[in-house]
Amino acid sequence: MSTAEPRVIETRRHQMFPTLSPGEIERLRRFGEVRSYRAGDYLARTGEVAPGFSIVLSGQVEIRPRDELTERPPIVVHGPGSFMGELAQLAGNPALVDALALAEVEAIVIPAAQLRSLLIEEAELGERIMRALILRRVGLLETGAGGPILVGRAANPDVLRLEGFLGRNGHPHQRLDPDVDPSAHCLLERFQVDPAQLPIVLCPNGRLLHNPTEAELARCIGLLRPIDPERVYDVAIVGAGPAGLAAAVYAASEGLSVLVLDCRAFGGQAGASARIENYLGFPTGISGMALMARAYNQAQKFGADMRIPDEAVRFECALGEENGAGFQLRLSSEERVRTRSVVIASGARYRRPAVEKLAEFEGSSVHYWASPLEQRLCTGQEVALVGGGNSAGQAVVYLAGAVRKVWLLVRGPSLGASMSRYLVDRIAALPNVEVLTRTEVVGLEGKDGELEAVRWRRSDTGQEARRPVRHLFLFTGAEPNTAWLSQDDVALDAHGFVRTGAEVGPERRALETSRPGVFAIGDVRGGSVKRVASAVGEGAQVVAAIHGFLADVGARAAPAPPPETA
Ligand SMILES: Cc1cc2nc3c(=O)[nH]c(=O)nc-3n(C[C@H](O)[C@H](O)[C@H](O)COP(=O)(O)OP(=O)(O)OC[C@H]3O[C@@H](n4cnc5c(N)ncnc54)[C@H](O)[C@@H]3O)c2cc1C
């Protein structure tokens, strides 16, 4: 975010830090217990799981980000009637700030599970509290306070990978570039790190990680906790894109126990969309990340367990197991999830065209998303983008606002054949976009993972061109994320998409695969409409089918599904 833009703490302070009335506090007493703290005690410490969300009854609590590099001023001092907490307390994750009692403090401490009950049972108060928790996280994201510190060059593929992971998961962080930031050197000296070993990550709990995987980083900052191998969930959802998150919200809100896995980040493809303009209810459009972050918080509010990043690598039937755990998912972390039903919502990913040396430039110069991170990397430059679908069109419009020139390469004879009219018209009105039809990329040039030029060729004339392009964006169609499944698990179509419903058997429920109790929704499902709205719709619809399955097998006393007219 540009420094010129006002921060959320300046514009929405009253919503971030509301004061509860004595009557409201009385109503909330039943969710927690009163605890006393002496001056100098911590109600929460950065990097450690706090006992809960706290409502201050008396005394004062200072909220201060802990920073290895500079002394940061307190964010706020809570007095009687105000409450301490942000989204970490909702999920039961480690705190991102220190909360220090300045004087003797008495507070109602509400653990994460009870906080979720409060948000649901106390609708109006819950809405105010939820808004405050979200805005406080936005405030931390704006300053990077409370999260890990990454030290490495901005264009380094591992820095991009780690920053992308933290950004996509809505986790605050700071990046220090050793080329421009003197404080990076202080850290390198303090921890005796050779600059050749970058990137490093300094976590809020004081641990130093050398170029960690996303899972190592997530574990260190408390985002990824172990799965209880004995627990049997009503439903395990593979994929936290719009389909998986919708299924999680509806299933959890209807009383099912839910686990959601995603190997990357919440939001799926939609989370990478710069602007979604055709989702019902958002006439001015909404960024995919904003829409998906709301869904993610909503699913957590209803008590869905999130495991991100964690990948389902194998599906197993465990029929006959006690507690009705008909299925087991094996994860890349070598853990297992036991569940009574499974929802496959693993979506699709963009195809990699067969261009020589493509892998060499991926992660640094070749991109499959156009998020603010990528936009920043190529500001003021010339870029090329391949693809003729709506996602390509959106990315062009987004990038054109920041780059000098976009070359849009389309294999077909026109854009109109595959892109919505509104995007075609918008692109036509952009002076810095040039559309090249019947054109394909034929060569990439560069060294050390940095692209220097792209060559393309017209298929009708054979004419070739070479441009000094350092960033290439590929939006060239999708293939299903079903490598973790085999035909023995569930029936797949010729392209690898999961087959469902009447297609696999007359007795199948809607969205049920060839295996009873296993469902598929969203982009991964054969014949689905590849849109956010349809993925969300299927996520809602599948929950009725899960209730039906669970009731049939008597696995649990399934609550009645909502009436169809509701
Ligand atoms: C850049 C872009 C812009 C778009 N813009 C629009 C738009 O404006 N309007 C619109 O309607 N649609 C748009 N789309 C399409 C829309 O985003 C998709 O149709 C939608 O996201 C599909 O949702 P999904 O949940 O089925 O799958 P996905 O969004 O693909 O999510 C699947 C998730 O599953 C995870 N996963 C995969 N395999 C595993 C595994 N083995 N274990 C654990 N997790 C796994 C993935 O990491 C991913 O997060 C756009 C797509 C892109 C890429």
pLDDT class for 556, splitting at 50, 70, 90? low
Q: Whose CA is nearest to atom 47 of ligand 1?
A: 264
Which DSSP category does 560 fall into?
A: P
Q: Is the pLDDT of residue 566 over 80?
A: no
Select from 330, 346, 484, 538 the residue to mutate for testing ligand 1; criterion: most ligand atoms less than 8 Å from CB. Answer: 346
- Identify the CA nearest to 206 among candidates 220, 222, 223: 220
The alpha carbon of 389 and the centre of ligand 1 are apart by a number of angstroms equal to: 15
Q: Is the pLDDT of residue 512 over 50?
A: yes
Atom of ligand 1 nearest to the CA of 242: 25
- Identify the CA nearest to 358 among candidates 439, 429, 443: 443
H or E element that contains 242: helix 242-253
8 Å CB contact between 72 and 65: yes
**Average per-residue pLDDT for the chain:** 92
Q: Residue 106 contacts by C-beta under 8 Å, 6 or more apart in sequence? A: 34, 35, 36, 37, 56, 57, 58, 59
Count of C-beta atoms within a 10 Å radius of residue 531: 17
Q: Are strands 382-386 and 471-474 parallel, antiparallel or unpaired?
A: parallel
Atom of ligand 1 nearest to the CA of 278: 9
The alpha carbon of 285 and the centre of ligand 1 are apart by a number of angstroms equal to: 18
Which residues does ligand 1 sit against, CB inside 6 Å? 238-244, 261-264, 268-270, 272-273, 276, 278, 311-312, 345-348, 390-391, 394-395, 481, 484, 522-524, 530-533, 535
Q: What tokens were used for 87?
A: 């989204």
Atom of ligand 1 nearest to the CA of 310: 43
Q: Is the pLDDT of residue 274 over 80?
A: no
- Give the tens place of pLDDT for each residue, 214-256: 999 999 999 999 999 999 999 999 999 999 999 999 999 999 9
CA angle, 178 then 179 then 182, to 5°: 60
H or E element that contains 395: helix 390-400
* Dihedral sign computed on CA atoms, order 131, 137, 139, 141: negative
pLDDT class for 139, splitting at 50, 70, 90? very high
Q: Whose CA is nearest to atom 44 of ligand 1?
A: 262
Count of C-beta atoms within a 10 Å radius of residue 13: 14
The residue with greater pLDDT, 465 or 155, is: 465
**d(C-alpha 63, C-alpha 77), whole Å:** 6
| pLDDT at res. 373 | 81
**d(C-alpha 14, C-alpha 137), whole Å:** 15
Q: Are strands 61-64 and 312-317 parallel, antiparallel or unpaired?
A: unpaired
Percentage of residues of the chain with pLDDT beyond 70: 96
Q: Whose CA is nearest to atom 33 of ligand 1?
A: 239
pLDDT class for 38, splitting at 50, 70, 90? very high
The alpha carbon of 553 and the centre of ligand 1 are apart by a number of angstroms equal to: 31
SS3 524: helix
How far, in Å, are 13, 14, 74, 368 from residue 17 at the CA level?
6, 5, 14, 39
- Give the tens place of pLDDT for each residue, 415-471: 988 899 999 999 999 999 999 999 999 999 999 888 999 999 999 999 999 999 999
Q: What is the model's pTM?
A: 0.85
The alpha carbon of 81 and the centre of ligand 1 are apart by a number of angstroms equal to: 42
Q: Is the pLDDT of residue 565 over 80?
A: no
- Chain centre distance of CA 188: 30
Select from 292, 481, 528 the residue to mutate for testing ligand 1; criterion: most ligand atoms less than 8 Å from CB. Answer: 481
Residues in the chain: 566
Atom of ligand 1 nearest to the CA of 331: 42
Omega within 30 of 0 (cis) for the link into 309: yes
**d(C-alpha 61, C-alpha 100), whole Å:** 5
| pLDDT at res. 563 | 45
* Dihedral sign computed on CA atoms, order 131, 132, 133, 136: positive
- Give the tens place of pLDDT for each residue, 318-377: 766 555 669 999 999 999 999 999 999 999 987 888 899 998 898 789 998 888 888 988
